[in-house]
């Protein structure tokens, strides 16, 4: 890419971020996702930090203004009324003043906090704002271990596929089969009016998404009860790695702010998590796998969820094996990283999280590979990511075989990641 290309793409990415900016929060894209999403916002803040530090902090602060009293940070905040999205506030019925969903999403906030804190040019503002966010993020992390790891195993479970952020991954298929669909209220999907139904989750999956929401709503969204009452409890290695990395990064910020107690607690959480993560390693696949907590067995589904752990401080040999899986993919795909192993017959190049490339995931993995010294494969992923942008613009996700743009267009987190990638590539 020439310097002119880079500067053109840099400016286009900022344009997308500004276009989706609603003042104090950013929507993922117009139409399809008209509210604030949890992990989207944290990625967005990383992008905004490249051109407006103050705005980047605000993005995260707005998210944490809607933290629940028990510590949970919801996956959607419905700041405005919009019929274009389903399921809306009525279906969730969480009873919050500003309506929110009742489930959570991958905790990128710990990582994002450290990034904003360390990069901010205005040190006084950064210290003040980090000091205010620190206890909130810690409260969220404590909530995870108390409510999603009730047996103290060191790893947390997701109770709904949407919590993983990888909505229809093949990882959930088996466990999802046990979720009933009887008795759910009739509904009309909205997502398929904005995007090609062939690229979206199926009706059978949607019925189960809704059954779980209605089930949890029936329990009054009491997080102390949800885990044990859920027929779907999956330990996702990627999700846990993000949490572990978050604990480590939170500890670094806490230390810099003189909060040794917070730092120690979070180092301890991360160490326990890293040790427990080893139980999810599969030698056969050369990567981690999800654990079905209901049956106690590993789920034979080699997806991106098992590669994301390179984002946490896993052993070097594991990082090298993950690098090899990606190199192997690169020999048969035009663009990496596919969200599911392309050699698996269940792989679908265009269907959402069952095959396509997502730049936020590429970003987490590039960061981890670089930290592990796997520079060659990191460069390969970086090249794919920038090629996709040049070829197909700021799409929600991409077909790894052709690079075709899929899902929503002018997508916020893709634009934010491009700003990050251009920086890494420089």
Catalytic residues: 167, 396
The answer to whether residue 33 forms part of the interface with ligand GLC (CB under 6 A) is yes
Query: Rounded to an integer, what distance in angstroms lies between the CA atom of residue 40 and that of residue 361?
Result: 12
Q: How far apart are the first and last CA of the chain?
A: 11
User: What is the contact mask toward ligand GLC in residues 148 to 167, using x (rule: CB under 6 A)?
Assistant: -----------------x-x
Least separation in angstroms between CB 12 and ligand GLC:
19
| Binding residue for ligand GLC, selected from 14, 20, 28, 400, defined by CB under 6 A | 28
Of the candidate spans 6-14, 32-40, 182-190, 363-371, the one that interacts with ligand GLC by CB under 6 A turns out to be 32-40
- Cα distances (angstroms) measured from residue 14 to each of 30, 45, 93, 418: 16, 12, 35, 10
Q: Select from 15, 151, 282, 169 the least CA-distant residue to 160.
A: 169
Q: Which is nearer to ligand GLC, 165 or 323 (CB)?
A: 165
Contact 67, 136 (CB under 8 A): yes
Q: What angle do CA 210, 215, 217 make, to 5 degrees?
A: 95
Least separation in angstroms between CB 408 and ligand GLC:
8
Of the candidate spans 36-44, 170-178, 334-342, 366-374, the one that interacts with ligand GLC by CB under 6 A turns out to be 36-44
The answer to whether residue 239 forms part of the interface with ligand GLC (CB under 6 A) is no
Q: Which is nearer to ligand GLC, 101 or 147 (CB)?
A: 101
Least separation in angstroms between CB 397 and ligand GLC:
9
Least separation in angstroms between CB 19 and ligand GLC:
15
Q: Which is nearer to ligand GLC, 40 or 149 (CB)?
A: 40
Of the candidate spans 35-43, 251-259, 275-283, 302-310, the one that interacts with ligand GLC by CB under 6 A turns out to be 35-43
> What letter does residue 98 receive in the DSSP assignment?
S
Of the candidate spans 33-41, 152-160, 270-278, 415-423, the one that interacts with ligand GLC by CB under 6 A turns out to be 33-41
Binding-site size for ligand GLC (CB under 6 A) equals 7
Q: Select from 231, 249, 235, 209 the least CA-distant residue to 148.
A: 235
| Binding residue for ligand GLC, selected from 13, 20, 37, 53, defined by CB under 6 A | 37
Contact 355, 342 (CB under 8 A): yes
- Beta bridge mates, 288: 281
The answer to whether residue 39 forms part of the interface with ligand GLC (CB under 6 A) is yes
The answer to whether residue 232 forms part of the interface with ligand GLC (CB under 6 A) is no
Query: Rounded to an integer, what distance in angstroms lies between the CA atom of residue 282 and that of residue 353?
Result: 21
Q: Is the dihedral of CA 304, 308, 314, 315 positive or negative?
A: positive
Phi-psi sector, 131: left (phi>0), alpha (psi -120 to 50), beta: alpha
Q: What is the 3-state secondary structure (H, E, C) of 162-173?
A: HHHCCCCCHHHH
Contact 20, 403 (CB under 8 A): no
- H-only helix segments in 257-355: 260-277, 316-332
Least separation in angstroms between CB 131 and ligand GLC:
28
The answer to whether residue 176 forms part of the interface with ligand GLC (CB under 6 A) is no
Q: Select from 333, 332, 341 the least CA-distant residue to 286.
A: 341
Q: Which is nearer to ligand GLC, 274 or 417 (CB)?
A: 417
The answer to whether residue 40 forms part of the interface with ligand GLC (CB under 6 A) is yes
Q: Which is nearer to ligand GLC, 195 or 366 (CB)?
A: 195
Least separation in angstroms between CB 417 and ligand GLC:
12
Q: Which is nearer to ligand GLC, 163 or 249 (CB)?
A: 163
Q: Which is nearer to ligand GLC, 33 or 394 (CB)?
A: 33
Query: Rounded to an integer, what distance in angstroms lies between the CA atom of residue 270 and that of residue 91?
Result: 35
- Provide the angle, in degrees to the nearest 10, between the axes of the packed helices 412-425 and 38-48: 40
Residues that bind ligand GLC (CB under 6 A): 28, 33, 37, 39-40, 165, 167
């Amino acid at each position: 890419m020439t310097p002119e290309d880079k500067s053109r793409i840099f400016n286009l990415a900022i344009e997308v971020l500004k276009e989706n900016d609603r003042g104090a929060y950013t929507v993922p894209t117009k139409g399809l996702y008209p509210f604030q999403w949890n992990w989207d916002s944290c990625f967005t803040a990383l992008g905004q930090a490249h051109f407006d530090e103050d705005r980047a902090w605000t993005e995260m602060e707005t998210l944490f203004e809607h933290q629940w009293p028990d510590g949970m940070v919801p996956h959607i905040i419905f700041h405005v009324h919009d019929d274009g999205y389903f399921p809306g506030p009525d279906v969730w019925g969480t009873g919050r003043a500003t309506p929110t969903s009742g489930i959570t999403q991958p905790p990128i906030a710990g990582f994002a906090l450290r990034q904003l804190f360390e990069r901010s040019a205005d040190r006084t503002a950064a210290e003040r704002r980090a000091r205010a966010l620190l206890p909130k993020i810690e409260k969220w992390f404590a909530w995870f271990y108390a409510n999603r790891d009730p047996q103290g195993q060191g790893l947390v479970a997701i109770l709904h596929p949407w919590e993983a952020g990888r909505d229809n991954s093949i990882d959930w298929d088996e466990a999802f089969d046990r979720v009933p669909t009887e008795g759910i209220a009739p509904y009309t999907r909205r997502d398929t009016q904005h995007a090609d139904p062939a690229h979206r989750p199926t009706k059978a999956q949607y019925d189960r998404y809704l059954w779980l929401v209605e089930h949890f709503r029936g329990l009054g969204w009491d997080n102390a009860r949800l885990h044990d009452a859920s027929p779907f409890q999956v330990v996702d290695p990627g999700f846990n790695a993000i949490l572990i990395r978050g604990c480590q990064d939170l500890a670094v910020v806490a230390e810099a702010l003189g909060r040794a107690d917070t730092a120690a607690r979070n180092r301890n959480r991360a160490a326990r998590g890293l040790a427990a993560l080893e139980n999810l390693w599969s030698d056969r696949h050369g990567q981690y796998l999800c654990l079905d907590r209901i049956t106690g067995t590993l789920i034979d589904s080699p997806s991106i969820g098992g590669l994301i752990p390179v984002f946490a401080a896993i052993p070097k040999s594991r990082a090298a094996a993950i690098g090899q899986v990606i190199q192997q993919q690169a020999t048969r795909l035009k663009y990496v990283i596919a969200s599911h192993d392309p050699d698996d017959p269940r792989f679908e190049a265009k269907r959402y999280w069952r095959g396509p490339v997502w730049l936020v995931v590429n970003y987490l993995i590039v960061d981890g590979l670089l930290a592990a010294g796997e520079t060659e494969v990191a460069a390969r992923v970086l090249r794919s990511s920038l090629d996709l942008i040049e070829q197909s613009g700021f799409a929600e996700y991409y077909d790894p075989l052709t690079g075709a743009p899929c899902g929503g267009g002018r997508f916020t987190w893709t634009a934010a990641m491009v700003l990050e990638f251009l920086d890494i590539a420089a």
